[in-house]
Amino acid sequence: METDSTATSAPSPTTTASASAEPKLPVCILVLGMAGSGKTTFLQRINAHLHSEKTPPYVVNLDPAVHELPYPCNVDIRDTVNYKQVMKQYSLGPNGAIVTSLNLFSTTFDQLLSILDKNQSKYRYFLFDTPGQIEVFTWSASGTIITEALGATYPTVIVYIMDTPRSANPITFMSNMLYAVSILYKYRLPFIVVLNKTDIIHHRFALEWMKDFELFQSAIEQEHSYSTDLCRSLSLVLDEFYANLRCVGFSSMTGDGCKEFFEAVDDACHEYEHVYKVEYNKWQEKRSKREHDKREKDLKRLKNDLNTEPSLIGEKRIRYDDNESDDDDDDEDDEDRTNNDDDYEEEEESFKRYLAKSVKNPTTTNDNMDM
Ligand SMILES: Nc1nc2c(ncn2[C@@H]2O[C@H](COP(=O)(O)OP(=O)(O)OP(=O)(O)O)[C@@H](O)[C@H]2O)c(=O)[nH]1
Ligand SMILES: [Mg+2]
């Protein structure tokens, strides 16, 4: 069943889902999700599936702390960053070291981009496995660098893996959805929620909760927790988010849901081309217009400055080269001279005052003279 479904949804690398004249760029599938939700197993499953479809993907592991990878990968963060060393060197705990390792790796992300660029004609999919530390993609710099760099060049889809059995609890379901919504609204890239581990529990309940607010409310009523009220209010807010959400039930163990998943990827690529890319191009245009306007403004200001400055520069030159400047100097000299004259007159006055005083009391002087 799985093979049949993907035979129709996995065209050759040079054809396109949305008929376009340009050769199709590989699709980047960025696999995110909470720790233990099954990201690595999911990636292993779709990797195996694509191999069986004779469209092997290009695989990048971005989890620096993983012990063993169950799939062969082309680029491994562990070859670039030593997570244990990062922990020691920066005195960090395991989570901090993972985030820091990814931050360090993202500083060389341009190299990875050029490797991907060289390989883009050979592959239909670029797959990215990520660490369970979801904060990397909610607030860390590396999450932004990685997703935005990929999204700027390739059709990029964020796949959020949810642990379905754990999400059977409405409060855990709500926390998972809040993470998903924060990532979706941060990046605005096409988004797929994969309800994983459906071999343990069917994902129907989750779909129903998203569709029917009252069903979720009654599930919450069963929970006697402090966060019940909060969950109730939040579920109202998330209604709009649920309405446009692509959800796929999947089992990384059995491979069930592969067909639906790749259909969702095709749909997400369509969204990338017609919504994200359009918005991104608009934003780029706006940014370049803003930069252009700023350059123009700076140039205008410079010109204005130069219009006032030459008079200053000119004056200076005139002071040295032009006769007028000599006149200016003369003026200064005259002023000095006037000042000197004033001083002289004052001295003369004071001398006269001294003489007058001496004449009034001639005794001392005369006595002295007599002697
Ligand atoms: N039954 C079942 N188990 C699964 C499925 N997917 C993953 N698992 C199990 O879930 C556990 C965690 O799987 P991983 O793939 O390591 O999860 P992860 O999200 O990569 O974990 P981190 O990288 O540590 O965040 C493993 O024991 C898997 O065997 C599934 O679809 N069904
Ligand atoms: Mg993993």
Distance 40 CA to ligand 2 centre (A): 4
Residue 128 CB neighbour total at 10 angstroms? 26
- Are 46 and 115 contacting, i.e. CB atoms less than 8 angstroms apart? no
Q: Going residue by residue through the chain (371 aa), what tens digit of pLDDT does each one get?
A: 333 333 333 334 433 344 445 568 999 999 999 999 999 999 999 999 999 999 999 999 999 999 999 999 999 999 999 999 999 999 999 999 999 999 999 999 999 999 999 999 999 999 999 999 888 888 888 999 999 999 999 999 999 999 999 999 999 999 999 999 999 989 989 999 999 999 999 999 999 999 988 899 889 888 777 778 888 888 888 888 898 899 999 999 999 999 999 999 999 999 999 999 888 888 888 888 988 898 888 888 888 877 765 555 555 454 444 444 444 545 555 555 555 556 656 666 766 666 566 544 444 444 443 33
Report the C-alpha gap between 288 and 297 in whole angstroms. Answer: 14
- Are 173 and 209 contacting, i.e. CB atoms less than 8 angstroms apart? yes
The strand pairing partners of 193, in sequence order, are 160, 247
Residue 309's pLDDT is what?
A: 58
Residue 172's pLDDT is what?
A: 93
- Are 250 and 257 contacting, i.e. CB atoms less than 8 angstroms apart? yes
Token pair, residue 324, equals 């007028």
Tokens 């590396």 sit on residue = 142
Residue 192's pLDDT is what?
A: 97
How far out from the chain centre does Cα 266 lie? 26
Q: Is 41 in the pocket of ligand 1 (CB under 6 A)?
A: yes
Q: Is 255 in the pocket of ligand 1 (CB under 6 A)?
A: no
Q: Is 63 in the pocket of ligand 1 (CB under 6 A)?
A: yes
Q: Is 199 in the pocket of ligand 1 (CB under 6 A)?
A: yes
pTM of the model: 0.75
Q: Is 132 in the pocket of ligand 1 (CB under 6 A)?
A: yes
- Ligand at minimal distance from the CA of 33 is 1
Residue 270's pLDDT is what?
A: 95
Residue 312's pLDDT is what?
A: 53
Q: Which of 93, 203, 108, 117 is nearest to 146 (CA)?
A: 108
Instruction: Write the residue with the smallest CA distance to atom 13 of ligand 1.
Output: 38
Length of the chain: 371
- For a ligand 1 pocket test, name from 30, 31, 40 the mutation site with the most ligand atoms within 8 angstroms of its C-beta: 40
CA angle, 327 then 331 then 336, to 5°: 145
Token pair, residue 116, equals 């991907």
Distance 69 CA to ligand 1 centre (A): 12
Instruction: Write the residue with the smallest CA distance to atom 14 of ligand 1.
Output: 38
- Are 189 and 153 contacting, i.e. CB atoms less than 8 angstroms apart? no
Question: Which residues, including other chains, have CB under 8 Å from residue 304's CB and lie 6 or more apart?
Answer: none
Q: Is 203 in the pocket of ligand 1 (CB under 6 A)?
A: no
